[in-house]
């Protein structure tokens, strides 16, 4: 196994400056923020940016990794304190709000939810998919969610719900309404309701 060498001090400083500037740039301009502008604002060349982050997706993942892992951890917190159906609903609300609030996050998670199991593995995608699977399966076992619903479908719906809410108003003010419509449609039906 190849041994990973620690970063030199100047390389570590460049990496940290790039992340700090990228956080602001993605907040201001979303996922389409100019990578060349990020490098320039960080005081490094584009080559330095690409050595640390070979593509836009890698930079987005580095910027949002802590937030994604916190969202995934939040799923477990909610599952510990709420009934399974409520835990899933609250987590979807928080996830969708995060997708609206953190510009660039939808672009990061989009490929993971679009391709489902065939998506290339990423730390962020794996964290969110795993959290969704735990909550969905628990809600199904409790009878609070239709048995034919797959976790990736719930993530796709949350992604779409965030987009729909942004179309209605940029601040995501319609999220709770859309979430209610979504979760009511995902509940199990009685035999006479189908």
Domain ranges of the chain: 9-54, 63-189
Supply the pLDDT for residue 7. 63
Q: Residue 192 pLDDT > 70, yes or no?
A: no
Q: 9-54 architecture in CATH?
A: Orthogonal Bundle (1.10)
- For the cut 90, the answer to whether the pLDDT of residue 73 exceeds it is yes
- Residue 118 corresponds to which tokens in the numbers above? 């065939």
Question: Model-level pTM?
Answer: 0.76
pLDDT band at 116 (very low <50, low <70, confident <90, very high): low
Q: Which of 74-88, 121-135, 147-161 has the lowest mean pLDDT?
A: 121-135
pLDDT at 194 exceeding the cut of 50: no
Between residues 179 and 40, the one the model is more confident about: 40
Residue 182 has pLDDT above 90, yes or no: no
Q: Is 155 exposed, middle or buried (0-12, 13-18, 19+ CB in 10 A)?
A: buried
* pLDDT over 70 (residue 6): no
SS3 for 85-144 is: HHHHHHHHHHHHHHHHHCCCHHHHHHHHHHHHHHCCCCHHHHHHHHHHHHHHHHHHHCCC
Whole-number pLDDT of residue 189: 74
Q: Give me the DSSP letters along 97-110.
A: HHHHHSTTHHHHHH
Fold of 63-189: Tetracycline Repressor; domain 2 (1.10.357)
Lowest-confidence segment of 18-32, 45-59, 111-125, 126-140 by average pLDDT: 111-125
Residue 193 has pLDDT above 90, yes or no: no
Taking residue 12's Cβ as centre, other Cβ atoms within 10 Å add up to 11
Residues 74 and 91 sit within 8 Å (Cβ to Cβ):
yes
- Across the range 178-189, mean pLDDT stands at 80
Element (H, E) at 30: none
Equal fold, 9-54 vs 63-189: no
Start-to-end CA span in the chain (Å): 56
Distance in angstroms (rounded) separating the CA atoms of residues 53 and 16: 12
- Integer Cα distance of 106 and 108 in angstroms: 5
């Amino acid at each position: 196994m190849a041994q990973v060498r620690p970063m030199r001090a100047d390389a570590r400083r460049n990496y940290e400056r790039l992340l700090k500037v990228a956080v602001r740039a993605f907040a201001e301009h979303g996922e389409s923020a100019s990578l060349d502008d990020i490098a320039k604002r960080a005081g490094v060349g584009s080559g330095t940016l690409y050595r640390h982050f070979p593509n836009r997706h890698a930079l987005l993942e580095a910027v949002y990794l802590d937030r994604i892992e916190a969202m995934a951890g939040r799923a477990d917190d909610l599952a510990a304190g709420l009934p399974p159906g409520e835990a899933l609903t609250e987590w979807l609300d928080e996830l969708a709000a995060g997708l609206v609030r953190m510009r660039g996050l939808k672009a990061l998670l989009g490929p993971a939810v679009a391709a489902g199991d065939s998506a290339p593995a990423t730390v962020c995608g794996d964290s969110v998919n795993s959290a969704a699977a735990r909550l969905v399966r628990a809600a199904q076992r409790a009878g609070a969610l239709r048995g034919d619903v797959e976790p990736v479908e719930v993530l796709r719906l949350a992604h779409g719900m965030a987009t729909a809410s942004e179309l209605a108003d940029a601040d995501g003010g319609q999220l709770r309404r859309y979430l209610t419509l979504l979760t009511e449609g995902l509940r199990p039906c009685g035999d006479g309701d189908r």
